[in-house]
Amino acid sequence: MADEARDTEEQQLLDDVEQLVEKSKRKRRTIRSSTTRLLNQIDGEVSKRDLDIGRVREMLSVLSAKEDSLRELDRIAEEQTSMDDVEAEIELAEDYRDRIIGMKTQAHQVIQAHETLMIEKFNRDVSLWQEFWSQYETAIHSNDALCNREKFTYLKTYLAGTAAKAVAGLTLTDSNYDAAVDILRSRFGRKDLIVNAHMSKLLNLTPVKKSSDVNALRQLYDDCEIQIRSLESLGVVSDTYGGMLCPMLLQMLPEDMALEYSRQRGDQDEWKVPDVLRFLQKEVQSRERASQMMRSYNQRENQSAHKTGSKSYSTSDMKLKKPSMTSAATLHTANQKTQNCLFCDSAEHKSESCPDHHVSARKEKLKKLGRRFVCLGPKHIARFCRLKAMSCATCGGKHHVAI
């Protein structure tokens, strides 16, 4: 009875082991199938011209997890496989490992090549050091797949001018790479130098002379934003230099915009950089919207005039023609062809495209010039104005779109 019980126990143990092996093999087949699909997906992703590095990195992380699972399941299967079958088992496992390693290597090479292409060369502009080092550190410096000598080779290719001369005397060795990094950091990566560089750029921004120059205003705002954000990343907040910078920023604005900011500011004593930037941002955005609206309006007007042709106007001329009266259309056309903008005297745009004045100021200007609100032409009898039926394209009112 004891022998029979022992045999039964041994058989049960063998059955359990066999079930464990079969379960492991079944699980391994499932993971191998999903791994094959993932390998194909990664291969397709790295072959795209518009590479999504974040997605590829995510897929590589999943692949690494599957690789670990397969390694453990292969170990269990090899331990329980007979000597006759173990060779084929090992060959199949090695084949999958080779495919995984090959795809990971290929993907990392593609990512590295893509990231290195995005790095701009560094010369000597201290204010650009942080941006350069951040890109270089991500793509090269922290890449464990590269030895220091290879990293040094990459580093030299991304240096120019003064920065390149700083490490020119160092030969390409592993130890010299660390020395080169220390030299560059001590010369260009010092916080005090970087702060001074950003402050210098803020104080030497190009002033804008005309509030109608939307592109120059946009450039001024973007330059301010970049330098101030960079200072904040260094722990230098605008409160520490706002009292000095704000008056200088206002001097860089056109006179009418500086006056408008002072009017809005009222009796506030404290100068705050964020307030000036918000004001400048709103003014720039308002002018950009106005310019876009006027471009759209002019396009519609041109299309309408092209479709209408000259015949309809000649018919109206016959009905409305007066011997001693100049038509409003003629005056309007002459005004567009021969005169500058009525509001800012610029020859670069039409009166309706001027972003320089508020509506109330425009109306006052038209009154002083003796111009009609409907056609912007010189004074004439309303019933003879060929544009008297024109309405504002923005609000539908009986006035010119400029006001």
Q: Which residue has the higher pLDDT, 28 or 320?
A: 28
Mean pLDDT of 107-131: 83
Q: Which pLDDT score is estimated for 320?
A: 40
Distance CA 332, CA 388 (A): 12
Compute the distance between CA of residue 247 and CA of residue 273 in angstroms, rounded to an integer. Answer: 10
The residue that leads in pLDDT, 396 or 208, is: 208
Task: Evaluate whether 344 touches 357 at the Cβ level (below 8 Å).
Answer: yes
Q: What is the distance between the alpha carbons of residues 60 and 332, in angstroms, rounded to a whole number?
A: 67
pLDDT of residue 10: 64
Say whether pLDDT at 246 is over 80.
Answer: yes
CA 247 to chain centre: 30
pLDDT score recorded for residue 46: 86
Q: How many CB atoms lie within 10 A of CB 353?
A: 21
Q: Rounded to an integer, what distance in angstroms lies between the CA atom of residue 193 and that of residue 190?
A: 5
Question: What mean pLDDT value characterizes the chain?
Answer: 80
Rounded Cα gap, residues 214 and 279, in angstroms: 14
DSSP element (H, E) containing 249: helix 242-251
346 vs 305, more confident:
346
pLDDT of residue 325: 40
Instruction: Over range 289-307, report the average pLDDT.
Output: 73
Tell me: pLDDT of 332 over 60: no
pLDDT band, residue 336 (cuts 50/70/90): very low
Q: Provide the pLDDT for residue 29.
A: 87
Burial class for 315, CB neighbours closer than 10 Å (0-12, 13-18, 19+): exposed
Best CA proximity match to 197, nearest among 241, 230, 239, 225: 230
Task: Report the pLDDT averaged over residues 8-22.
Answer: 67
Return d(Cα 238, Cα 128) in angstroms, integer.
20
What does the DSSP 8-state code read for residue 272?
-
Confidence of residue 221 (pLDDT cuts 50, 70, 90): very high
Does the pLDDT value for residue 47 go beyond 80?
yes
Residue 328 has pLDDT above 90, yes or no: no
Confidence of residue 318 (pLDDT cuts 50, 70, 90): very low
The percent of residues in the chain predicted with pLDDT above 90, rounded, is: 28
- What was the pLDDT predicted at 313? 44
Domains of the chain: 14-117 (1.10.132), 126-189 (no CATH), 195-287 (no CATH), 325-403 (no CATH)
pLDDT single digits (tens) 70-110: 888 888 877 776 666 777 888 888 888 999 999 998 888 88
Query: Rounded to 5 degrees, what are φ and ψ at 313?
Result: -70, -35
Residue 180 has pLDDT above 90, yes or no: yes
CA distances from 188 to 55, 132, 149, 163, 395 (A): 34, 11, 22, 8, 56
Query: Which of the residue ranges 67-81, 193-207, 382-396 would you say has the lowest mean pLDDT?
Result: 382-396
- The yes-or-no verdict on residue 145 having pLDDT over 80 is no
pLDDT at 338: 44
pTM of the complete model: 0.45
Q: Does residue 227 surpass a pLDDT of 70?
A: yes
